[in-house]
Chains A and B, each alone.
Chain A
């Protein structure tokens, strides 16, 4: 059992990094069984976008993924989607609902880019404090974006759903970063982790995505 766990950890990381061998049939099965056939066109488009993007440059991959989700998925808060706040949805859940919260956008983009072959080390999910203009003046809001680091020391590109364009972080004065993470080096339990209470929200999401067919 121990041996199995030790083998599974690195193996899943490797697959996530390489982005190879996504089992679309299995993903589709997971999607249809939960959300019905009506969600299939969006799924097929996503699949097509990934297929077309796989041979492009990294900049082009970023643009296509960012545009796909910003255009096709409507923003909504977790409470109205899931009935409770702060639910991290897997990409399949996001596609199935057609609606998503800010972290769901970032997660769906993160998974899609990894599938297109972007190394995990270049991607960071970043908690940011966002400054938005409201009817009564600017308001601060907790938000999440996906950052892309072409190299460790460069200014990252920000993939966001508030501002649909990809912009360098230095130009996003409305965002101030708090903390960042990715799935590199993350201990993911023993593969069939059933006691979810032991997992962080991030680990929980990884486990659910793995159950749907993301390696």
Chain B
């Protein structure tokens, strides 16, 4: 065959990944995916407001960023919301995962479907539903910080904890129920079994679920946009209002900060999940 060259390591018929055409496509796709983001990060260090020609390196826009009180307040709000969301989502997600893993009960398929709903329905629908809900029940606005963020936090928890539940449940698949049975036989109460036997096994899943909830909350724009008021602006909502205005290096700098934060958290989460899977397969 003509594709067998004298090359000591010839390209075999199924070596699709070594064909130039496919490599070129992959390269082009990755360029398409990364060039805009890399451009954004690079130009946050550009010493020019015009933002298209490189005029030299500067960190001025980061300094401006940290001196921008409104932006820093939004950043603080985002972190606060994300922390509370993480805490609640992890607990609720762990309980959901435990119930679905351990019990058989009538209507379980419907229950699971209901838990998947916040994941599948369009964000805009959930956003407007939350907006109407909080307006309708007269949720107090204008409370002191951090209680003024409660509406956003509640909405974030509602869409984050089902994601956390999925991650935690995947971890529970590798748990041997006989261990819990054994602890019960030895006189442990249900709560003790959960605390001392189940939770230690869940731990990597809990951490991965928590990190997932954190990034989901930190990144959310649409649902937050509909639940936030003028005095409860989050970082993405603030960036949105800046983006609508124009393309500026400040927005690039703010975006870069958010990208870095998410990347660090995600790297941790992926590591956890990897360990999760490895332990999972050895646990059987």
Does chain A bind chain B?
no
